Amino acid sequence: MAKHFHKRTFLNPVSTGLTSFIDALVEHSFNGSDSLINCLITIADCRRVIRLEFFLANKEHRRRSLAKINLLIETLTGFRDALVKESKLIENFKRDKS
């Protein structure tokens, strides 16, 4: 298995001892000659694991996979923005109560 892209990142500091991680893998298609490659994102948190697959075997699968990753990124970006906003609101409320 030749890898075009592979990155595994732990999501918590080592000091916590928690093993949450994200693992992203795109195998190499050898200049497009192999369309049956593995393209996977695995997200693990505590004992829960989710694996997302992105098929590239034909034009429709490629279109759907690109739409899927774009929607996932858009949703996660919105989630991050909401988390930042709520975190600031909570910090400001706690500071004002002190």
Question: pLDDT digits over 6-64, tens only?
Answer: 999 999 998 998 989 999 999 999 999 999 999 999 999 988 999 999 999 999 999 99
Question: pLDDT digits over 56-95, tens only?
Answer: 999 999 999 999 999 999 999 999 999 999 999 999 998 8
Q: What is the pLDDT of residue 81?
A: 98
Q: What is the pLDDT of residue 46?
A: 83
Q: What is the pLDDT of residue 98?
A: 75
What are the residues whose beta carbons fall under 8 Å from the beta carbon of 29, sequence distance 6 or more?
Answer: 4, 35, 37, 56
Give the closest residue to 84 by CA, choosing from 73, 96, 92.
92
Q: What is the pLDDT of residue 51?
A: 98
Q: What is the pLDDT of residue 97?
A: 83
What are the residues whose beta carbons fall under 8 Å from the beta carbon of 53, sequence distance 6 or more?
Answer: 38, 39, 40
Q: Kindly tell me the burial class for residue 56, based on how many C-beta atoms sit within 10 Å of its own C-beta (0-12, 13-18, 19 or more).
A: buried
Q: What is the pLDDT of residue 53?
A: 98
d(CA 96, CA 91): 9
What pTM was computed for the model?
A: 0.86
Say which amino acid occupies 1.
M
